[in-house]
Amino acid sequence: MHRGENATATDKATPQPQPPPAPPPPDDEFKMTEMVTMTVEVLESETIYRTALASNIRAFHQAVRSERTLARIEERMTLLEQRMKDLEQENQELKQHKSEQLSQSKAVGA
HSE of 92 in the Cβ direction (CA atoms, 13 Å)?
6
- Average pLDDT on 49-72 reads 98
Span 22-48, mean pLDDT?
88
Chain-centroid distance, C-alpha 4: 62
pLDDT of residue 100: 87
Counting residues of the chain whose pLDDT is more than 90, the rounded percentage is: 61
Q: Nearest to residue 11, comparing CAs of 1, 3, 23, 21?
A: 1
- What's residue 90's pLDDT? 96
The pLDDT of residue 16 is 66
Q: 3-class DSSP state for residue 26?
A: coil
> Whole-model pTM above 0.75?
no
